[in-house]
A and B are shown apart, each in its own frame.
Chain A
Amino acid sequence: SQQGEEDPQALSIQEGENATMNCSYKTSINNLQWYRQNSGRGLVHLILIRSNEREKHSGRLRVTLDTSKKSSSLLITASRAADTASYFCATVQTGANNLFFGTGTRLTVIP
């Protein structure tokens, strides 16, 4: 992808477990965002972390950002079957305007 790659490509866990997915990107960024996409539908914005922030929380979501390593992680705690979806990180390069998406992680939460 133009900017980010995610790891793992696919993740399968039991309901109640935590899910961690990672995003690596190539250039300096303004901010990094995470989106969720249910199968064949539009994307939903989850959380935005700015380049001067290191960690952010929203409900069961925790996002970290390490600009020195050009990487971010998304942690979903106490997963539910409804969390089954694809998760994409997205970044805007410093000095640029457009949001480019990473390759995505397909999460399956087994009830």
Chain B
Amino acid sequence: DTEVTQTPKHLVMGMTNKKSLKCEQHMGHRAMYWYKQKAKKPPELMFVYSYEKLSINESVPSRFSPECPNSSLLNLHLHALQPEDSALYLCASSQGWGGGEKLFFGSGTQLSVL
């Protein structure tokens, strides 16, 4: 199994809603990532978990809250988002973290905030 599975594929939410994005991998990878990608732009790193510990938070607003319940799962909890947060949210995993590991990406969640 070389897949990273993200759910849901599409999400529309209001600014007062609370929702969660989910990501799962069964490759035994020990690093997992959240990236945000706006249309026609490169992915931007948000968070990195290494061995289930948050290793990097790239100055992401607190309305985004990551969680890594175990080595296979990664969640992104969303609360009080703004319309400018509308984007494609990509989860990725790698065997380890550091030194430029190859990333495996999920197909993303397309988020629209109304």
The B-contacting residues of A in range 14-65, CB under 8 angstroms, are: 29-31, 33, 35, 40-45, 48
Chain A neighbourhood of B41, CB < 8 A: 103-104
How many A-B residue pairs have C-beta atoms within 8 angstroms? Tell me: 64
Interface of A is mostly: strand
CB-CB nearest in chain A for B48: A98
Query: Would you call B42 and A31 a contact (CB within 8 A)?
Result: no
- Is the interface on chain B under 10, 10 to 19, 20 to 34, or 35 or more residues? 20 to 34
Chain B neighbourhood of A41, CB < 8 A: 107-108
Minimal beta-carbon separation of B34 from chain A (angstroms):
12
- Is the interface on chain A under 10, 10 to 19, 20 to 34, or 35 or more residues? 20 to 34
Chain A neighbourhood of B49, CB < 8 A: none
Query: Would you call B42 and A104 a contact (CB within 8 A)?
Result: yes
Task: State the A residues within 8 Å of B (CB).
Answer: 1, 29-31, 33, 35, 40-45, 48, 88, 91-92, 97-104, 106
